[in-house]
Structure 1
Amino acid sequence: MRCAACGHVFTDGYFSDEVCAEVFSSTNPNQQPGASFEQNRYVSARIVERVARYVPKGRWLDVGFGNGSLLFTAEEWGFEPEGLDLRPSTAEGMRRLGVEARCADLTTLDEPGRYSVISMADVLEHMPYPGKGLVAAHRLLREDGVIFASMPHYDCAAWRLLDAGNVNPYWGELEHFHNFSRQRLYDFLDEHGFEPLNYSVSTRYRVCMEVIARRV
């Protein structure tokens, strides 16, 4: 589906709670805490280095932390790492590695101003209502805190080339409910009280973008 007013692309319908519970009951091997830690450390270091230019210290919450690389690397920079994930086994695995982690939905947290950084790496497109995620992030961040967000960029030449070759993997991503363009993401952030500060091409996944935005 495409919104005629803003151009936002989204699915017609979302998974039920029962289906979500089944999806989150298992974890891919590459998303287990500590998986491919050396290779992922290089990718995460590039992200943390950019974020630290705007917020050099404080508590860093990573939503949907997966293999944990971003939190492990943020800790190297002196941040206090904390993870949030919907997969119980992932949260337990992270705790075994000595990092505070909870199995909970971001929108349920009630700790205003607790965090300096909230990262949502490839998360917003998975949320049925991503605006609620940004509302929660705004509430949980301190006044000068920032968010880091990454996701596929559907309005770029790389995406169009995949479409032209009929090899775009993202149209088959069953857990992706939204596709963002850079402009739509910027407008979406502005609507929810964030000022975009930095744009970059992501090295995490194919045809993805990364944005750092400050709470205003």
Structure 2
Amino acid sequence: MNFPKKGIKLLLLSLIVNFALFSCSEKKTEQTQTEAKTETQEVKEDQKIILFFGNSLTAGYGIEQDLAFPGLTQDRLDSLGKNYKVINGGLSGETTAGGLSRLDWFLEDQPDIFVLELGGNDGLRGIQLSETKKNLLAIIDKVQSKYPDTKIILAGMQIPPNMGPEYSEEFSQIYPSVAEEKNVTLIPFLLENVGGIKELNLPDGIHPTEEGHKIVFENVWEYLKEEV
């Protein structure tokens, strides 16, 4: 699914105004890692772990973290009596290269399910597509090598055509290619029915509102429910 035409202009304008939102991760890395590490240490001995590893979408930029889709996943699991602990490894501004460099911190304990949501910032910055794909493959390789039994879910992403339609199209094809090569589950488009829809995004036109995250959660849950 492509971004609705009515939302493209809004997204393009928002990208220009809010690009800085995606370049501030360095200052928050230590704090985010420490908080996530604390969460990991609180996992009970018999609990299984779901690690959401991503950028500001996973982190829940602009809303309470518990209301972002990883937090909503924890709520659904709790309501079903599932003994899982959800770890939110989202960091605003994160790229695939940054994610690869900080991954080891989150793999000290084995995640039973690893949800990878990265690449959107690469696309918005016009990073070479081969680099994005290489980093996604490397992240998956690292998880599979250390924990062969961990189930991996890759969240697909699309970007508006501000870098040109050819770049945007090739970018969207990275995800099915990586998923097929590594034999992991693919969510075709994480922001299905949310991306480009004004009322479901914050004023920046990029990050989902609480209502938007509810839809994103359902997009994720459609694939996650089969694994828990």
Relative to the length of structure 2, the TM-score reads 0.41
Going by fraction, where is strand more abundant, 1 or 2? 1
Going by fraction, where is helix more abundant, 1 or 2? 2
User: RCO greater where, 1 or 2, for CA within 8 Å and sep 6 or more?
Assistant: 2
